[in-house]
Amino acid sequence: MRFLLLFLAILSSLSISSQRNITPTDTLYIRGKIQSEKKFSLSQLDSFPKITLQDLVLYNQKGEVKDSIKSLKGILLKTLLAKTELVYEKPKELNEFCFVLTSSDSYKVVLSWNEIYNTTIGDQFFIITEMEGKPIREMEERILFLSAGDLKTGRRYVRGLDHIDVKRVN
């Protein structure tokens, strides 16, 4: 029985550590229901106007402290999205749009158009360009997304952000 418990504990720890092995991303793609696909390199992301953020404590879904990150600078997600043109005919159709942010390990976070553009939380969605004194090129997972206004911040902390799919819900 002890052997079985030890085996399960080791297996569990291996699966947890493998989830943390995110491939660093050097390019961010925006694609989907937009006029033309966009591609942003690290230097292009670094050229956007930056906002200094407060140090942030990351909480998991249970509200437990998981990590803290300091000395953050980033660009508003909506500033980046302003470079894209959504495909729609009438303004009311914007209610049907969502944005699926996907990391290099396939972790996904979904945001609605209204959440980004019609609430104060949209002013807290950032692509991080500097963390703990390191510029984006030197950051471990490179392209990061976070929602600085969330109560359980870890749920929408995307490391190794690879692409954003713009979708329309039918």
For residue range 63-119, list pLDDT tens digits in order: 899 988 999 999 999 999 999 999 999 999 999 999 999 999 999 999 999 999 999
Token pair belonging to 68: 């803290």
Residue ranges of E strands in 23-123: 27-32, 38-41, 51-53, 56-59, 65-69, 72-76, 97-103, 108-112
- Max CA distance (Å), the chain: 64
Query: Does 157 fall in a domain?
Result: yes
Query: Does 121 fall in a domain?
Result: yes
Query: Does 158 fall in a domain?
Result: yes
User: What's the CATH number where 122 sits?
Assistant: 3.90.420.10
Average pLDDT of 130-150?
Answer: 93
At 167 the three-state DSSP class reads strand
Query: Does 77 fall in a domain?
Result: yes
Indicate whether 18 pLDDT > 80.
Answer: no
- pTM for the structure as a whole: 0.85
Q: Which position has the token pair 């407060």?
A: 54
pLDDT at 20: 59
Per the structure, the complete domain to which residue 160 belongs is given by 22-168
Reported as a single tens digit per residue, the pLDDT across 91-103 is 999 999 999 999 9
Structural domain total, the chain: 1
The pair phi, psi for residue 14, each rounded to 5°, is: -65, -40
Distance CA 67, CA 108 (A): 20
Distance CA 46, CA 38 (A): 16
